[in-house]
Amino acid sequence: MSDTATAATHDDHAHHDHKPTGWKRWVYSTNHKDIGTMYITLAVISAILGMGASMAIRLELAVPGIQFITDTQFYNVLVTAHGFLMVFFVVMPTLIGGFGNWFIPLMIGTPDMAFPRMNNISFWLLAGGFILLVLSGFVQGGAGTGWTVYPPLSNADYHPTPAVDFAILSLHLAGASSILGAINFITTIINMRAPGMTFHRMPLFIWASLITAFLLLLAIPVLAGALTMLLTDRNFGTTFFDPSGGGDPIFWQHLFWFFGHPEVYIMIVPAFGVVSQVVSTFSKKPIFGYLGMAYAMASIGVVGFVVWAHHMFTVGFNVETRIYFVLATMVIAVPTGIKIFSWLATMWGGSIEFKTPMLYAMGFIFLFVVGGVTGITLANAGVDIAFHDTYFVIAHFHYVLSIATIYGIFCGMFYWLPKMCGNMYDETLGQWQFWITFIGVNVLFFPQHFLGMAGMPRRIPDYPDAYAGWNLVSSIGGAISLVGALLFLYILWKTIVSGEKAPANPWGEGATTLEWTVDSPAPFHTHEQIPEIPEEEHGEKVYVSPGAK
């Protein structure tokens, strides 16, 4: 970057593993590992808040009638906060900011990100966004718009207080953070790979991060533009989304979903990357169909930009438009199928070790298939008109987005925890945690398919008695999931304070990527000597970087 940064790097060569101390180490940090750790820490805090909101929702919905949320706007605020927190402050910071920052430089064999100071501002913008979002909950009634922020509900008539403005500015900051982070990721991956690591030999997690970063670059500016228009509609009398001045609320839906659909791939593609690494490691085989896997992710990303209107089938498109969006959406099943079958083929004939990360990877595949199948159901415009805004949609997107993605996060956490903190987690506790969570989330979300098919609408704090049974089951599943989440926090704490010391490579011969060639925990400065990637090893062409010494 600048001359001083280069000088500092050289200085560090002299005093090996010299690092700043105290608060300056974190606040001024330009170190990709420290920044990654801060992202994950922020995500854990947001996850506690976001899960708190969802537990309050499930508690309210356990039985018919209004239990304790007497202010229905407060219910809307909980729903909104849960969505915003989980999407922008849990899933994205962990999978992209956390794992991406930690492992992109480690896996491609470079000392740090391309622009370490920009990396710092990316994190602190996100932290600012988080603070604004929390503040919005305390401003006069809060933002009860849902994460989709549809006008007219979100305009000044129905949300007159600044709470929605706080939420909008919060998303602006989170968006700016993501854009800067994405530019950093792409620049790093394109320019700073170790000699010998061609694009077609990068680990799949790197491919996933690269594709995700491009999706962020193309999608987030559209959200930023739409949010700015909403902000001026609310405060400065413009009428982008207001029919009284010639605007159109449907226009918001187009803009939002042009961002929103790529956004769902932004959340799931990094999880694809993590799961690919883990499946390969614990099957002790290179990933099956490496190139197909990489290009499947790329094509999911590309097609993801031209299917947005399948979120809007009820707004009254003509038949031709609906046919196009149905077909384009269904096309995504093809690359997704390539991924699923390639993971299965990687496991096929492998010497599989069922350690916790592998359980989570297999759980991810199962949950993603279930969510994908209901996705195909909803992709049909005719069916979708019946299921629109019901719990069937809730069940579908929680299977793919929340629990499958969270499984990707748990998978990566257990897989990389030894590298990040230097200690091994307790395998028995880890497997307990997996099974408790697996049972919990399925009991929580599977019955919501039945509720949705019976017509239960989403975002309503009360429901007719006919929906009582499965709602109670669902809430019990929520309680089981809570036990799983608390157990995870306990495991995290226990591993950090009293875990067994981990070797550089705790996973054995299957772990071939470069992060396992450095010590555990990864030293403050790594890959100061840039590793060389051989083209062949044991007479076989190497795709994923091998365990170079």
Partner 1 sequence: MIKKTTFQQKINYQKRGTALVLFSLVAGMVGLAFASEPLYRIFCQVTGYAGTTQVAASVPKSNEVLKRIVAVRFDANVNSKMPWSFRPVQREIKVRLGEQALAYFEATNDSDQPLVGTASFNVTPYKAAIHFNKIDCFCFTQQVLKPGQTMKMPVTFFIDPELAKDSGVDDLRTITLSYTFFQDDDQSAVEKLAAKRIDAKDGVNSKKAVTSRNG
Say whether 261 is catalytic: yes
Q: Which is nearer to partner 1, 127 or 255 (CB)?
A: 255
Cβ–Cβ under 8 Å, residues 296 and 265:
no
Q: Of the residues 122, 178, 374, 513, which is catalytic?
A: 178
Which residues lie closer than 8 Å to 111 by C-beta, 6 or more apart?
A: 9, 105, 525, 526, 527, 528
Residue placing its CB nearer to partner 1 in the complex, 10 or 538: 10
CB of 257 to partner 1, least distance (A): 13
Q: Is 459 a catalytic residue?
A: no
Catalytic site residue from 147, 343, 407, 416: 147
Q: Which of 54, 276, 390, 402 is catalytic?
A: 276
Our CB check for partner 1 shows the closer of 114 and 406 to be: 114
Shortest Cβ distance from residue 177 to partner 1 (Å)? 13
Q: Smallest distance from the beta carbon of 196 to partner 1, in angstroms? A: 15
* Chain-centre distance for alpha carbon 69: 29
Closest CB 146 distance from partner 1, rounded Å? 21
Q: Which is nearer to partner 1, 118 or 139 (CB)?
A: 118
Task: Write down the catalytic residue from 265, 391, 399, 543.
Answer: 265
- Burial (Cβ within 10 Å: 0-12, 13-18, ≥19) of residue 106: buried
Of residues 311, 322, 355, 398, which has the active-site annotation?
Answer: 311
Nearest to 525 by CA among 4, 19, 11, 14: 19
520 catalytic residue (yes or no): no
Catalytic residue list contains 263: yes
Please enumerate in sequence order all residues whose Cβ is within 8 A of that of 373, keeping only pairs 6 or more positions apart, or say none: none
Q: How far is the CB of 16 from partner 1 (least distance, A)?
A: 17
Q: Is 112 a catalytic residue?
A: yes
> Smallest gap, in angstroms, from Cβ of residue 535 to partner 1?
21
Active site residue 239: no
Is 527 among the residues known to form the active site?
no
253/329 with CB nearer partner 1: 253
Q: Are 522 and 32 in contact (CB under 8 A)?
A: no
> Is residue 177 flagged as an active site residue?
yes
**420 close to 34: Cβ distance less than 8 angstroms:** no
Residue among 254, 284, 388, 458 flagged as catalytic:
458
Alpha carbons 67 and 61: distance in angstroms, whole number:
8
Known active-site residue 276: yes
Q: How far is the CB of 217 from partner 1 (least distance, A)?
A: 6
What's the helix, strand, coil split of the chain in %, to 5? 70, 0, 25
Q: Among this protein's residues, is 244 annotated catalytic?
A: no
Cα(114)–Cα(98) distance, integer angstroms: 16
Which whole-number Å values give the CA distances from 260 to 90, 220, 301, 520, in the listed order? 16, 9, 13, 38
**Cβ–Cβ under 8 Å, residues 352 and 283:** yes
Burial (CB < 10 A; 0-12, 13-18, 19+), residue 270, is buried
Catalytic-labelled residue, pool 154, 170, 336, 495: 336
Q: Minimal distance in Å, beta carbon 315 to partner 1?
A: 8
| Active-site pick, 310, 355, 419, 525 | 310
* 448 CB-near residues (< 8 Å, 6+ apart): 391, 392, 394, 395, 398, 470, 474
The reply to whether 265 belongs to the active site is: yes
Residues forming contacts to partner 1 in the complex (CB under 8 A) are 1, 3, 6-7, 10, 114-115, 157, 179, 182-183, 186-187, 190-192, 217-218, 220-222, 224-226, 229, 237, 240, 243-246, 248, 250-251, 254-255, 315-320
In a 13 Å sphere around the CA of 79, the CA atoms on its Cβ side amount to 19
Q: Is 178 a catalytic residue?
A: yes
Task: Considering the complex, state which of residue 248 and residue 353 has its C-beta at the smaller distance from partner 1.
Answer: 248
Active site residue 170: no
Q: Which is nearer to partner 1, 187 or 431 (CB)?
A: 187
**Residues 416, 203: Cα–Cα separation, whole Å:** 15
Report the alpha-carbon distance of residue 144 to residue 166 in Å, rounded. Answer: 12
> Which of 55/192 has CB closer to partner 1?
192
Is 201 an annotated catalytic residue?
no
Runs of H (alpha helix) within 284-380: 290-303, 319-331, 333-347, 356-379
Q: Which sequence positions are flagged as catalytic?
A: 82, 112, 147, 177-178, 261, 263, 265, 276, 310-311, 336, 339, 458
